[in-house]
């Protein structure tokens, strides 16, 4: 049993330190038997999208009366929900009950008359509130409660982790602190909806959908906002009327390839965002990339946005990850910790390069959990066998079918602790034959590598592709070395369990904090044959893990 509080500076119990009331953690606290009904991905997307369409974003003066503000807005209809946040100023997100209220508010807004600049008019749902009589700073206003959009500082995280009761508690704490809050999720859908308004100037009936970590349940506060411009609805709309005599000769313009079509569409939407997109700054058109995109900052929300088009497979991958994340409460906790661990050691980066990506890391965790005995997660092929006619999904010739109803998937009988899984994850990949084998979540077992990239992780839907083709041998080696060291640290702790050293980071904290990484690299520099030392240590880990795995297999 861990001492409740190992650090003298610890601010109290974990619950008190967290200070978060209504975080919908869902499953993480209930172990593997989570019985909360889970919504399908498509249902969540539909509800959130519709909610975003009834929502407005308002830049407010720093001092306002919340009561008066709400009273004023209520003239346009009832308000379902609202919250304030700070991002270079005070902002309010206000969700009306009816969509008509937004139009009513838009009708009473005016275009600002600027002294030195000229305005390009655009009817948006992003307003600026100017009070005729500003409240003076000393007036007795209760201060506005702002919802934080950022993750805790390293210091706070360190305190929280050191105060946890067990490694399992540490992993769940990290998840609770870093996962997207309800407000951040709302703001993400709202931002997509605002961008959709701009894109609709060119493509009426288009949809801008979030994908990636904003929706796959593995998003960390502050992660980028991936969105894609979906023009499929327009196509569907025109195919409905297949029987008429009139063909829309001017509805399409033919271009030589799908890629060129994508580039042209993104190019004009990029221009629109640059010229008319309220709050869109630093618009960059990256059209020659493998997956062409427009990158920009949405100032008001503070999100770094990547807009692509023709990216249905990526949305389907997000749905698959969402499904895996919801199947067992340990999945998200483990993925968050591995992602944070990788970030702390600079294995991942926000700059594209030869590093491993969060997407690849997530797939590696899923694969590892499929390999447990009994498995914690089913294979993608098994999920495909459970699918019914409605689940059928073929995108660009790729079969992306899998069951979407959670009730048809039996929960895992595996009851391993997060602590064990974390340790075994590092051991598993510390000893994985990356030179020979490919990681394959479709079949849930290693496959011979079809090509020579250092790291081969099969793309779950475009099965001839490798999602980690960019990873260099040296980055892979760094991952393996750190995995081995981390496994060793956790093993050492097991031994020291009876004599805990106070004021020392332990468990996940020992693996995450940069100070530990630094001291490890310092140790490496000081002791020349560090790799020898680690190799020997690993031998001992390996022999004990062989014993363990024999025991597990024999169960």
Query: Which spans of this chain sit near ligand GTP (rule: CB under 6 A)?
Result: 211-213, 216, 219, 223-224, 226, 314, 317-318, 357-359, 459, 467
215-243 burial, b at 16+ Cβ within 10 Å, e below that, comes to: bbbbbbeebebbbbbbbeeeeeeeeeeee
**Shortest gap between Cβ of 478 and ligand GTP (angstroms)?**
18
CB closer to Mg ion, 301 vs 370: 301
Nearer to ligand GTP, 401 or 412 (CB): 401
End-to-end Cα spacing for the chain: 26
Does position 212 interact with Mg ion (CB under 5 A)? The reply is yes
Residue 210 is a binding residue for Mg ion (CB under 5 A): no
CB of 214 to ligand GTP, least distance (A): 7
Of ligand GTP, Mg ion, none, which one sits near residue 102, judging by CB under 5 to 8 A according to partner kind? none
- Residue 348 binds Mg ion, judged by CB under 5 A: no
Min. distance of Cβ 253 from Mg ion in angstroms?
Answer: 31
* Residue 401 binding target from Mg ion, ligand GTP, none, CB below 5 to 8 Å by type: none
DSSP 376-441: SS--HHHHHHT--GGG--EETTEE------GGGSPPP-----HHHHHHHHHHHHHS--TTTEEB-T
Rounded Cα distance between 408 and 380, Å, is 14
> CB under 8 Å to 221, separation ≥6 — which residues?
149, 150, 151, 178, 179, 180, 181, 184
d(C-alpha 428, C-alpha 231), whole Å: 43
Q: How far apart are CA 57 and CA 363, in angstroms?
A: 35
Among 61-69, 86-94, 226-234, 401-409, the segment contacting Mg ion (CB under 5 A): 226-234
Task: Give me the residues paired with residue 56 across strands.
Answer: 94
> In angstroms, what CA-CA distances link 381 with 322, 399, 438, 506?
17, 11, 16, 39
Nearer to ligand GTP, 312 or 484 (CB): 312
- Cβ 184 to ligand GTP shortest distance, Å: 13
How distant is the alpha carbon of residue 143 from its chain centre? 31
Rounded Cα gap, residues 342 and 479, in angstroms:
8
Helix (H) or strand (E) holding 27: none
Shortest CB 188 distance to ligand GTP, Å: 11
> Considering the complex, what minimum distance in angstroms separates the CB of residue 359 from Mg ion?
8
Of the residues 226, 230, 427, 493, which one makes contact with Mg ion according to CB under 5 A: 226
* C-alpha distance from residue 181 to each of 24, 195, 375, 501 (Å): 8, 21, 30, 35
Q: What's the CA gap between 37 and 405, in Å, rounded?
A: 11
Q: Ramachandran region of residue 283, left (φ > 0), alpha (ψ -120 to 50) or beta? A: beta
Residue nearest to ligand GTP (CB): 212
Shortest distance (Å) from residue 236 CB to ligand GTP = 23
Residue 96 contacts which entry, Mg ion, ligand GTP, none (Cβ below 5-8 A, type-dependent): none
Residue 359: name its binding partner from ligand GTP, Mg ion, none (Cβ under 5 to 8 Å by kind).
ligand GTP
Dist. CA 71–CA 59, nearest whole Å: 17
Per rule CB under 5 A, is residue 219 in the interface with Mg ion? no
224 touches Mg ion (CB under 5 A): yes
Q: Which of 170, 88, 202 is nearest to 337 (CA)?
A: 170
Closest to ligand GTP by CB, 27 or 213: 213
Contacting residues for 243 by C-beta, under 8 A, at least 6 apart: none
- DSSP letters along 301-366, please? TTEEEEEEES-HHHHHHHHHHHHHHHH-HHHHHHHHHHHHHHHHTTSS-SS-SSSPPHHHHHHHHH
Question: Closer CB to Mg ion, residue 304 or residue 552?
Answer: 304
Nearer to ligand GTP, 295 or 542 (CB): 295
**181 or 329: CB nearest Mg ion:** 181
User: Measured from the CB of residue 42, what is the shortest distance to ligand GTP in angstroms?
Assistant: 16
The three-class DSSP label of residue 168 is helix
**What is the total count of residues that contact Mg ion (CB under 5 A)?**
4
The C-alpha atoms of residue 211 and residue 308 are separated, in whole angstroms, by 10
Minimum CB–partner distance for residue 9 and ligand GTP (Å) = 31
Taking the complex as a whole, how short is the minimal distance between the CB of residue 213 and ligand GTP, in angstroms? 3
Residue 220 sits in the site that holds Mg ion (CB under 5 A): no
Residue 302 binds which of ligand GTP, Mg ion, none (CB < 5-8 A, kind-dependent): none
| Nearer to ligand GTP among residue 316 and residue 330 (C-beta) | 316
Contact 281, 270 (CB under 8 A): no
Cα–Cα nearest to 484, from 546, 424, 437: 424
CB of 345: closest distance to ligand GTP in angstroms? 15
Residue 314 binds which entry of Mg ion, ligand GTP, none, with Cβ cut-offs from 5 to 8 Å by kind?
A: ligand GTP
Q: Which residue is nearest to Mg ion (CB)?
A: 212
Nearer residue to ligand GTP within complex by CB, 383 or 520: 383
Do residues 243 and 267 lie in contact, with contact meaning Cβ atoms separated by under 8 Å?
no
SS3 content of the chain, % helix, strand, coil (to 5): 45, 15, 45
Half-sphere exposure in the Cβ direction for 482 (13 Å, CA): 24
Q: Which does 412 bind (CB under 5 to 8 A by kind): ligand GTP, Mg ion, none?
A: none
Residue from 213, 370, 438, 453 binding Mg ion (CB under 5 A): 213
* Residue 370 interface partner, choices ligand GTP, Mg ion, none, CB cut-off 5-8 Å depending on type: none
Nearer to ligand GTP, 308 or 329 (CB): 308
Considering beta carbons, is residue 210 or 505 the nearer one to Mg ion? 210
317 binds Mg ion (CB under 5 A): no
Closest to ligand GTP by CB, 60 vs 455, is 455
Among ligand GTP, Mg ion, none, partner that 318 touches (CB below 5 to 8 angstroms by kind): ligand GTP
Residues forming the site for Mg ion (CB under 5 A):
212-213, 224, 226
């Amino acid at each position: 049993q861990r001492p409740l509080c190992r650090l003298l500076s610890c601010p109290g119990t974990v619950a008190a330190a967290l200070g978060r009331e209504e975080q919908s953690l869902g499953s993480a606290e209930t172990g593997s038997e989570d019985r909360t009904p889970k919504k399908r991905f498509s249902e969540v997307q539909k509800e959130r999208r519709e909610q975003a369409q009834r929502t407005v974003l308002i830049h407010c003066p720093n001092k306002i009366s919340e009561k008066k503000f709400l009273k004023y807005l209520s003239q346009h209809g009832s308000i379902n929900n609202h919250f304030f946040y700070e991002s270079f100023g005070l902002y309010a997100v206000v969700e009306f009950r009816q969509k008509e209220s937004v139009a009513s508010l838009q009708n009473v807004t005016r275009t600002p008359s600027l002294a030195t600049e000229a305005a390009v008019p655009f009817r948006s749902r992003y307003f600026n509130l100017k009070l005729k009589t500003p409240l003076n700073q000393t007036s007795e206003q209760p201060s506005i409660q702002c919802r934080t959009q950022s993750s805790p500082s390293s210091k706070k995280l360190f305190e929280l982790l050191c105060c946890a009761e067990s490694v399992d508690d540490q992993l769940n704490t990290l998840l609770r602190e870093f996962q997207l809050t309800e407000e951040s999720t709302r703001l993400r859908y709202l931002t997509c909806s605002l961008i959709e308004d701009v894109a609709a100037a060119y493509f009426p009936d288009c949809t801008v959908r979030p994908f990636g970590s904003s929706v796959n349940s593995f998003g960390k506060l502050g992660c980028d906002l991936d969105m894609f411009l979906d023009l499929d609805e327009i196509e569907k709309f025109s195919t409905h009327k297949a029987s008429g005599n009139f063909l829309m000769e001017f509805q399409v313009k033919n271009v030589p390839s799908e890629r060129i079509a994508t580039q042209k569409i993104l190019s004009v939407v990029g221009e629109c965002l640059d010229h008319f997109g309220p709050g869109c700054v630093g618009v960059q058109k990256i059209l020659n990339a493998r997956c062409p995109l427009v990158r920009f900052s949405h100032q008001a929300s503070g999100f770094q946005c990547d807009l692509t088009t023709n990216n249905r497979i990526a949305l389907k991958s997000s749905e698959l990850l969402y499904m895996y994340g919801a199947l067992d409460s340990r999945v998200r906790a483990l993925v968050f910790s591995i992602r944070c661990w990788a970030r702390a050691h600079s294995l991942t980066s926000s700059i594209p390069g030869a590093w491993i990506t969060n997407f690849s890391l997530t797939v590696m965790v899923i694969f590892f959990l499929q390999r447990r005995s009994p498995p914690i997660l089913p294979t993608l092929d098994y999920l495909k066998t459970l699918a019914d006619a409605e689940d059928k999904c073929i995108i660009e010739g790729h079969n992306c079918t899998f069951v979407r109803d959670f009730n048809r998937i039996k929960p895992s009988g595996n009851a391993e602790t997060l602590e064990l899984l974390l340790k075994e994850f590092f051991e598993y990949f510390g000893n994985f034959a990356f030179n020979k084998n490919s990681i394959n979540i479709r079949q849930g077992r290693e496959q011979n590598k079809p090509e020579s990239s250092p790291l081969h992780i099969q793309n779950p839907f475009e099965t001839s592709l490798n999602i980690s083709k960019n990873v260099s041998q040296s980055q892979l080696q760094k991952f393996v070395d750190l995995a081995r060291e981390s496994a060793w640290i956790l093993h050492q702790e097991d031994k020291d369990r009876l004599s805990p050293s106070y004021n020392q980071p332990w468990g996940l904290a020992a693996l995450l904090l940069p100070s530990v990484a630094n001291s490890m690299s310092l140790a490496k520099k000081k002791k020349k044959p560090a790799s020898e030392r680690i190799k020997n240590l690993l031998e001992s880990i390996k022999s004990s893990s062989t014993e363990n795995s024999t025991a597990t297999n024999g169960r």
